[in-house]
Structures are given as C-alpha cells and as structure tokens.
Amino acid sequence: IPLRVQPDRVVPTVCPYCGVGCRVDLYVKDARIYRVMAREEPPNHGALCVKGRFGLGFLHHPDRLKTPLIRRRKGAELEPVSWDEALDFAAARLARIADASGPDALFFVSSAKASNEENYLMQKLARAAVGTHNVDHCARLCHSSSTAALSRSLGSAAMSNTLEEIGLSDVILVTGSNTTETHPVVGAMIKKAARNGAFLIVADPRRIGLAEAAHLWLRLRPGSDAVLFGAMARYLVESGRFDRAFVERRTEGFDAWWESVRDYTLEFAEGVTGVPAARIREAAERYAGARAAAIYWAMGITQHSHGTDNAQALINLALIAGQLGKPGAGLNPLRGQNNVQGAGDMGALPNVYPGYQPAADRQVQKRWKALWHTPQPETPGRTMTEAFESIGAKDGVRGVYLMGEDPITSEPYQDHVRAALEKLDLLIVQDILKNETFPYADVVLPAASFAEKQGTFTNTDRRVQRIRPVFEPPGEARPDWWITAQLGRRLAARTGRGWTEGWNYAGPEAVWEEIRLALPRMFGGIDYARLEREPLRWPCPHERSPGVSVLFTDRFYTPSGKARLLPAVWRPPAERPGGDYPLVLSTGRVLYHWHGGTLSRRSDLERAYPKMKVEVHPADAERYGISDGEPVWVVSRRGRIQATAWVTDRTPEGVVFAPFHFAEQPANRLTLDAYDPTSKIPEYKFAAVRLEPAGHE
C-alpha cells in the first residue's frame, strides 16, 4: 500500500517485540497495517528500530493458526473441531491427569508475549483451578538469574530506575548486553548520553556496537564476569573509595561478602578475565566516583551456570559504591520480551504469587485462598527447566499447557527436548503461529495477536501501557485471556475445586480490576481510564499517584529495609574447551531477528537477514581453514549445525558467536543442559565446540 494513502484508521499501541515497549501508531487500510510510526512520547520519543517498523508481517502470514485442533489419540492426525469441543477435550484430559497423578503432574507455561491480564489468568488457572504452583514463563531462560539475585538482595526484581534517566547518568556501565541490536532504542539513548558527556564503560567479550562507542571497553573472557565486578568492588573498599556511609546505613552482610572477594585482587582478576588491572581500576574509580552511575545488563550476565553470582556481583558493586536510590543511578536489567516484566509481576513463576508474594508463605496462601475461594497448594512448583527434565520420570510432569512458547527452539540441548515431548500424555499448544513444537501437540488453541485484543503490557522500566485492537483475529482465533478463562471454568468444575464464577470475566478490564484488588500497593492507582490518557509506572498505590520512577530512595523492599550484600563467588563454566572441542560457543541475538524467529522470520526482516551467520575470529578461521562467507560446521558434544562463516574480530579469538533465531540451523542443538543452581537458567553463553569447513556439500 503506498505510504501516501489515507488510512482507514490510526491505532495507538505498543511494539510487540522487546521490553523497551516503544509506543507506536499503526496505520490501517483495508484491514492491513501498512505503516508503523513512532509516537513522540516516552519511552521512545519518536524513535523505532527495524523490528518495530518492519517486523509486523507475521500478523497476516499464512501460518497463522485459525481453527482449534485436537488429536484424539497418539498417532492420529490433528483434526479441526469447534471451540467447545476443543476446550472440553483439553479440560477433560488435564483433569484426568490431575486425578490420576496429582496436580503437580501438570505444568503451565505462561508467556511474556501475552498481556498482564493473560499472565494473571494462566497462573490463576494453575493455582486455583488445578491446585499446583507449576507455572513458569520464558524469563526462566533469560533473566531468572537477575530476578533471583535482585529479589534476595533488594526485595524487588525490577529496574530500579527508568530509561528516561539515561541522560542523567554521568557514568553508564553496560555489560552482557548487545544493546544496539537487542534493545536498539535504548542503545541509541546510551550512545547519545555518551556523546553528551556521560563516561561509557562496556564490559563484553565481543566488539559490539556499544564497545565502539565506549570510553572504556573491558574485553573480558566469557564466563569471568563475577571476578571482574567482585574485583572492582574489592578495590573500592581497599582503596577507601567506596561509599562508607551508604554501606553502613543501608546495607547488611558486609563481612560475609568481603570474605567472598578477599582473593579478588586486581592482579587475580587480570589473570582470570584477561582485562589489564589498570583498566579494571579505572573502571572502578570512574563508576564509584560518579555523581550518578547506572548499570545496564542482559543475558551475557545471566545465561551462565553461575548467572545468579554474576548478577549478584553487579548488585554488590552498586551497593558498595552507593549507586542506588538516586536519579540516573541504579541497577537496570534490560528485559527481553515486550511483557516479560509483566509476566513476572503477575506471578507466572513457580515460587511467587502475583506481586512477588512468596508461594510457600502460609499467610500469603490464605490471602489468595480468600480472593479465589479455593484452597491453595502449599509447596512451590517446578521451574520450566526442572519440569522438562522430569518428563518421563516417576512423579514427573505428564501434561504441559504452552501459551506462546516454542520449547524445541528455545530450550537447550534440543534433541533432549524433542524426546521429552514425545513422552508427554498431553501437550496443549496455544499460539498465534505454527512453530517447531506444533507437530507434538495434542490440542492446538489458536490465539489472537497483540494487534487483535485489549490489554496491558509492562515494559522494562515498569511502565504499564495499553494495547488496543487493530482488527479482528483471523478465523476462529481468540484472545489468550478468553481461552484461559474458558478452560478455567471447565477445569474448576471438573477438578471439584469449585468457584466456576471466578472465571466469568466480561473482558480484560475486569481481569485488571481483580489484579488491582489483589495488589493495591503496586497497581491500586492504575486503571484503564487513566491508562487511556497516559502509561503509568508501578508502584502506583492510589489514583492520585503519578507512579514511582526511582526505587529504594529511602528503604529497600526487604524485611529490614536494608539491602543485603551477599557472597558472589566465581566458578568456571560447566563445560571447558579443549581436545576435540577447542572453541567456546556463545549464543545470542541479531538486530533483525527475535528469539526463536517465529515472528521476525515471517516478516520483511527475513529478507534483510535470511540465513544464519556465525562469527569466527580471523585467527581461528586461518587455523581451521574457514573462509569468510563459506559454509562451516559448528560441532559440539550434542550435535552439529551448518551455518555461514562471518570472519570478523567482533568475536574474540577462541570464541564462536551464533544467533539462535534459525529453527533449521538450531544453535540450541549445540548448547548443554547445565543450569545455574539457584535460578535454573541454562548455560547458553558457554559450550565447547569445534569448527569444520563444510565446503559446498
């Protein structure tokens, strides 16, 4: 459609890709979106990246799911049925497994792509209609390490400050985040701040876009993060450059923490990280000496078998330097999916209810029992990684309900995941598009996209924003909230957990009102009418509150009100390079694609980046006979994939970088199922591999 045509209408909403939550106007003609424009409002102030602007083709793709499908028995074909039949079938099969093996034999995967209201209903389905805390979502695979460390140290797992404050920082430390490609609008904000005088420190093994813009680039070895940040904090204390008053007044646990970093001298850190001691010292002095210094991080920190220690080391550094509780400072995990913050806030996690209320706490259970009129499960549930590991075992998970998740592409060690899915008695796939997991489904429930429903998303800096329908869902697809509520009513009746009325919602606004009622201190002041005028940031406890930007100005959200310094001990990765597998594989994202590629590869973005390229350092290319642009095998102990070699010094010598967006060349065939013991996050950032020239086979 030519750009100059008059639109039928222009719908203000939110980009469905990353956690920045850019606000957009969608221009619609003849029930198709032909133009996406950025709104001149926070958080993006008129800026958009290629994904937001050109990545919405998936909405009209032929692979959209349009009809409910069921597989009546294993080995039979999926067949189209009515909604009533699909929902009755799904509810009966879920109830049968719960009856036979107990509620914990079921597992519910919620979605950071779905709205707050839909995430709330998914965890309510698990807890109220079935009676299990077995619910999780994709944050398990991205920021669960940050969530674990931030929750126990500060009592809150969200960004402490806001994107609007980037311009207020005089030092910005970015680590484990290829920000210009994964959160491009934030990357542009950081570059602008650096041009305007902020001192930019980047700690990353790869020569990413921000490394080029940095005043100080610390090219640390993969997996050495906890030593780098532990050494910086230790140096600050030893040299007397730390914020003594802040540490004494607002933290606890100093002695145990100090013991954990006692050996992390600058020289020791240089040996482990490969970063010269003088650069580590300069980074520490710049960071602590700033009036306001902010830390931003993402999966380069978290996706390790010691990811929680990595995140904890950053938290400790910020506490030692007193860089919390003031504008322009803070600890700021950049969240990946558009509503991953909201999915956590809504309790789509096995250990917490909505509002991060502990699932194991009897008083908390009593409150939710009163709200939902049903007894509550007593012990926390399984994480997603534990659930998939348990399939096939005695007392393991037998039925899985997936909302907007494609575990075959997203979980590590893909061959294991396929084998596990084949052992399930029941797999429900609720999605907008066919994905790699689709062939394993016993029930397929076609869902509406972000552009076909009402609701709210919460972006990475806690901003709750309205989404609005642009057109009707295709075929018989329905919004996730409607599907889950329909299943909830049926399941509540079948499991005998009563209160079927608790599933009668007139629409997403009614669900939001229940959330406000349950969590007044977070959301009491946020209603749809206010959101119609402006987004609001939580906590927003009453209707006159503008929402809070800077957290922890006077107390932390821990029982004592003080932040906890906790030991963060460096441990080497689970698998070391050597022998037949001399190189390190690190996986991640590229500018043009998104996660498993389900959305971005069904849009115009596919033309910009149609095939997988792996980054190979020139010295490694020469050593293994690899040529730029030629096919290459990447081989690990778990499998092999073919890709195109990109010979570049973006990646350091000894490290191969592979994006994970390509289902036909799945990087997760290579990764291993080693997990962080606390967060259960897989080690996507470190696996031993070798390279072999593939010629033109």
| Chain residues in the site for ligand SF4 (CB under 6 A) | 15, 17-18, 20-22, 44, 48-49, 51-52, 183-185
Three-class secondary structure of residue 18 per DSSP = strand
End-to-end CA distance of the chain: 41
Half-sphere exposure of 296 (CA within 13 A, CB side): 30
Identity of the residue, 185 or 315, whose beta carbon is nearer to ligand SF4 in the bound complex: 185
Considering the complex, what minimum distance in angstroms separates the CB of residue 298 from ligand SF4? Answer: 13
Please state, in angstroms and rounded to a whole number, the distance separating the CA atoms of residues 239 and 164: 33
Considering the complex, what minimum distance in angstroms separates the CB of residue 338 from ligand SF4? Answer: 7
Considering the complex, what minimum distance in angstroms separates the CB of residue 53 from ligand SF4? Answer: 7
Please state, in angstroms and rounded to a whole number, the distance separating the CA atoms of residues 493 and 486: 11
Identity of the residue, 573 or 596, whose beta carbon is nearer to ligand SF4 in the bound complex: 596
Identity of the residue, 21 or 325, whose beta carbon is nearer to ligand SF4 in the bound complex: 21
Please state, in angstroms and rounded to a whole number, the distance separating the CA atoms of residues 522 and 169: 27
Identity of the residue, 336 or 525, whose beta carbon is nearer to ligand SF4 in the bound complex: 336
Identity of the residue, 52 or 381, whose beta carbon is nearer to ligand SF4 in the bound complex: 52
Q: Note every long-range contact of 210-213, with CB atoms under 8 Å and residues 24 or more positions apart, other chains counting.
A: 210/174, 210/177, 210/178, 210/179, 210/180
- From the list 517, 552, 557, the residue with the least C-alpha distance to 358 is 557
Considering the complex, what minimum distance in angstroms separates the CB of residue 116 from ligand SF4? Answer: 17
Identity of the residue, 105 or 464, whose beta carbon is nearer to ligand SF4 in the bound complex: 464
- From the list 56, 14, 55, the residue with the least C-alpha distance to 469 is 14
Considering the complex, what minimum distance in angstroms separates the CB of residue 291 from ligand SF4? Answer: 28
Identity of the residue, 44 or 312, whose beta carbon is nearer to ligand SF4 in the bound complex: 44
- From the list 656, 659, 665, 666, the residue with the least C-alpha distance to 584 is 656
Identity of the residue, 589 or 638, whose beta carbon is nearer to ligand SF4 in the bound complex: 589
Considering the complex, what minimum distance in angstroms separates the CB of residue 8 from ligand SF4? Answer: 23
What one-character DSSP code corresponds to residue 483? Answer: H
Element (H, E) at 658: strand 655-659
Dihedral pair phi/psi, residue 668, rounded to 5°: -80, 5
Considering the complex, what minimum distance in angstroms separates the CB of residue 549 from ligand SF4? Answer: 19
Identity of the residue, 155 or 184, whose beta carbon is nearer to ligand SF4 in the bound complex: 184
- From the list 518, 533, 544, the residue with the least C-alpha distance to 464 is 533
Considering the complex, what minimum distance in angstroms separates the CB of residue 339 from ligand SF4? Answer: 11
Please state, in angstroms and rounded to a whole number, the distance separating the CA atoms of residues 133 and 127: 6
Considering the complex, what minimum distance in angstroms separates the CB of residue 188 from ligand SF4? Answer: 9
Helix, strand, coil percent values for the chain (each to nearest 5): 40, 20, 45
Please state, in angstroms and rounded to a whole number, the distance separating the CA atoms of residues 345 and 515: 10
Helix 362-372 / helix 508-518 crossing angle, nearest 10 deg: 140
Element (H, E) at 32: strand 32-38
Considering the complex, what minimum distance in angstroms separates the CB of residue 129 from ligand SF4? Answer: 33
Identity of the residue, 182 or 414, whose beta carbon is nearer to ligand SF4 in the bound complex: 182
Considering the complex, what minimum distance in angstroms separates the CB of residue 643 from ligand SF4? Answer: 24
Instruction: Determine contact, residues 66/474, Cβ cutoff 8 Å.
Output: yes
Instruction: Determine contact, residues 200/190, Cβ cutoff 8 Å.
Output: yes
Identity of the residue, 49 or 227, whose beta carbon is nearer to ligand SF4 in the bound complex: 49
- From the list 430, 426, 19, the residue with the least C-alpha distance to 186 is 19
Residue type, 220: L
Closest residue to ligand SF4, judged by C-beta, is 52
Identity of the residue, 20 or 159, whose beta carbon is nearer to ligand SF4 in the bound complex: 20
Token code pair at residue 588: 């991640």
Considering the complex, what minimum distance in angstroms separates the CB of residue 460 from ligand SF4? Answer: 9
Please state, in angstroms and rounded to a whole number, the distance separating the CA atoms of residues 297 and 336: 11
Torsion sign (Cα): 372, 375, 380, 382 = negative
